[in-house]
Amino acid sequence: MSTLTSSRTWLALKSHREQFAGARMTDLFAADANRFDKFSLQAGSLLLDYSKNLASAETMQLLMALARERQLGNEIQRLLTGDKINTSEDRAALHTALRGSAPVMVDGNDVMPEVKATLAQMREFCNGVRDGSIGGPGGRRFTDVINVGIGGSHLGPALATTALATYGKGGPRVHYVSNVDAGAVERLLEGLDPATTLAIVESKTFSTIETLTNATIVREWMGPSARAPGSNQLVAVTANVRLAGEFGVAPAHVFPCWDWVGGRYSLWSAMGLPVALGIGMDNFEALLHGAHEMDAHFRDAPFERSMPVILALLGIWYNDFFGAASHAILPYDESLALLPAHLQQLDMESSGKQLTRDGDAVDYDTGMIIWGATGTNAQHSFFQLLHQGTRLVPADFIAVCKPQHTNTKSHAILLANFLAQTAALMNGALKDGFPGNRPSNSILVQQLTPHTLGMLIALYEHKVFVQNTIWGINAFDQPGVELGKRLATSILPEVEAAGAVTAYDASTNGLVNFIKAHQTR
Ligand code: F6P
């Protein structure tokens, strides 16, 4: 048995779990009129209501004891102060430094001067693009920005751009290209003018084949002006300045990022450039300030009053003691439509591992399958399974009190559904075949602003960190994505070449040959 599953608190949680065999949340509410007050908390303008969970005060005490037994406090300190907690790559994980101000040392050097210099470089560039002093060929104002990137070089920025679209007035339209499926980039380019379009190539490594393929398509579409001396049409965000230069990006148009920031944690770096171009640098820095407020909450709040810790521990409770394999993210706000996709990478690329930081095989479940969609649409899609299926699917319901629009009637309907669903999942209606007793967390955001969006995303970053700390796994590497990439690189010439393929397993050979037989022009 691992140190985790043989620990006193883990074993206590296992026996505590048995008490919940027949427990019902409605009984927990009946037994304590103050359950909502005791199982909810505010951080800034966010409210977390975790009262609709299969958890008692004793449950929370045991989970908090587990966190302490796993040295969570020490690990949080190590994270925030730049210890090399990304053990497999011998790196720090300092996405929090990107939104801070106090000195943070990496290899004996304070990283804050270069963080601040990059923010200044972003501000100068964004101001120039937005006031027209930085423009396309012939000085024409940029009306459109294309961000070319994938994974963390896409999902976080696209989420922020979509969520904060109402803050985009006065700025260029921002578009995102990520998949190597050329249909997407071709459809986008059809409607744009190369002379008024700015392209950002976002790639920490500047070697991701999808990004380089799409960036080449966009660069060629722009024509020779894109690489002409003094051109502003092509910029890059990368840790590899040399490769960006070889691609045709002038050194002055390269925005740096660093190896101590993981891709899925990089929204706060210059990877946020498309967001800043769209909403303005002041609003982008408000996003950073919101994340910083959540960092301070994570640093200072006692575990029992810490939103990230509570979300993380409840996730472990269902994952490791109830066998729940997935967790649903259900934002009741179309502005947050891309939140589930961003959290999928953030959580599953961090937590989807079966070896501990010490290289030992785990004997417990780790990362959950993160999925979701916006409500109320989800109610007309998969809520049947949530209400009457055979599976336990814990869910986070997220809603905004004051919308970014003025239609109070529609918003009241949206909120009524948000409230009704968590109540129905908990209370059920046995006579109508609704078992109920299905847990959920409710997160209310007073108003969706750059600041509160920053808080919300940082909340989940820290939730993921807490879970990985307890599981003893490294949240900040992603070795699992390499094998598929390598195989794709070796299969690519087979797909492109003429003739039958026999070099792979029978399935791959059969599939490739079917493709070839049905691609004749
Ligand atoms: O999915 C693997 C991954 O390395 C992610 O971690 C990263 O966000 C994405 O690919 C893109 O990487 P890059 O920014 O280097 O192009």
Q: Are 446 and 401 in contact (CB under 8 A)?
A: yes
Query: Cα of 264 to ligand 1 centre, how many Å?
Result: 8
Let me know if residue 27 belongs to a domain: no
Say whether both 486 and 467 belong to one domain: no
**Cα–Cα distance measured from residue 200 to residue 149, given in angstroms and rounded to the nearest whole number:** 8
3 state SS of 514? helix
**Cα–Cα distance measured from residue 43 to residue 354, given in angstroms and rounded to the nearest whole number:** 33
| Residues acting as catalytic residues | 349, 380, 485
Say whether both 380 and 281 belong to one domain: no
What is residue 149's DSSP assignment? -
| Ligand 1 neighbour 266 (Cβ under 6 A) | no
**Cα–Cα distance measured from residue 206 to residue 236, given in angstroms and rounded to the nearest whole number:** 9
Other C-beta atoms within 10 Å of 187: how many? 10
Other C-beta atoms within 10 Å of 57: how many? 12
pLDDT score for 521: 58
| Ligand 1 neighbour 233 (Cβ under 6 A) | no
Torsion angles phi and psi, residue 39, rounded to 5: -115, 40
pLDDT tens, 16-75? 999 998 899 999 999 999 999 999 999 999 999 999 999 999 999 999 999 999 999 999
Task: Tell me the mean pLDDT in the region 245-260.
Answer: 96
Q: Whose CA is nearest to atom 13 of ligand 1?
A: 203
Say whether both 306 and 436 belong to one domain: yes
Range of the domain at 499: 482-518
Query: Cα of 38 to ligand 1 centre, how many Å?
Result: 41
Number of domains in the chain: 3
Say whether both 383 and 493 belong to one domain: no
| Mutate which of 204, 213, 269, 349 for ligand 1 pocket (most atoms within 8 A of beta carbon) | 204
Query: Cα of 519 to ligand 1 centre, how many Å?
Result: 30
Say whether both 500 and 451 belong to one domain: no
Say whether both 204 and 347 belong to one domain: no
Say whether both 360 and 453 belong to one domain: yes
**Cα–Cα distance measured from residue 426 to residue 382, given in angstroms and rounded to the nearest whole number:** 17
Cα–Cα nearest to 89, from 246, 258, 208, 256: 258
Say whether both 459 and 387 belong to one domain: yes
Q: Which of 250, 285, 320 is the last residue of a domain?
A: 285
Say whether both 315 and 349 belong to one domain: yes
Let me know if residue 278 belongs to a domain: yes
Q: Which of 116-133 are b and which e, b meaning 16 or more Cβ less than 10 Å from the residue's Cβ?
A: eebbebbbebbeebbeee
pLDDT tens, 361-381? 999 999 999 999 999 999 999
Let me know if residue 25 belongs to a domain: no
CA atoms within 13 Å, Cβ hemisphere of 415: 15
Q: Which of 16-42 are b and which e, b meaning 16 or more Cβ less than 10 Å from the residue's Cβ?
A: bbeebeeebbeebbeeeeebeeebbbe
Q: How confident is the model at residue 516 (pLDDT cuts 50, 70, 90)?
A: very high
Say whether both 221 and 333 belong to one domain: no
**Cα–Cα distance measured from residue 336 to residue 338, given in angstroms and rounded to the nearest whole number:** 5
Single-letter amino acid, residue 2: S
β-strand pairing of 46-49 with 105-106: unpaired
Query: Cα of 377 to ligand 1 centre, how many Å?
Result: 30
Task: Tell me the mean pLDDT in the region 139-163.
Answer: 98
pLDDT tens, 211-242? 999 999 999 999 999 999 999 999 999 999 99
Let me know if residue 354 belongs to a domain: yes
Torsion angles phi and psi, residue 51, rounded to 5: -75, -25
Say whether both 252 and 319 belong to one domain: no
Q: For position 493, which CATH number holds?
A: 1.10.1390.10
Task: Tell me the mean pLDDT in the region 251-258.
Answer: 96
The sign of the CA dihedral 288, 294, 298, 301 is positive
| Mutate which of 95, 343, 353, 481 for ligand 1 pocket (most atoms within 8 A of beta carbon) | 481
| Ligand 1 neighbour 152 (Cβ under 6 A) | yes
Say whether both 131 and 229 belong to one domain: yes
Query: For the whole prediction, is pTM greater than 0.75?
Result: yes
Cα–Cα nearest to 353, from 483, 487, 474: 474
Percent of the chain topping pLDDT 70: 100
Please write down the HEC assignment for all residues of 363-397: CCCCCCEEEECCCCHHHHCCHHHHHHCCCCCCEEE
Residue entry with tokens 């949206």: 414
Q: For position 459, which CATH number holds?
A: 3.40.50.10490
Q: Whose CA is nearest to atom 4 of ligand 1?
A: 263
Torsion angles phi and psi, residue 159, rounded to 5: -60, -50
What is residue 269's DSSP assignment? T
Q: Are 229 and 239 in contact (CB under 8 A)?
A: no
3 state SS of 203? coil
Let me know if residue 82 belongs to a domain: no
Q: Are 130 and 171 in contact (CB under 8 A)?
A: yes
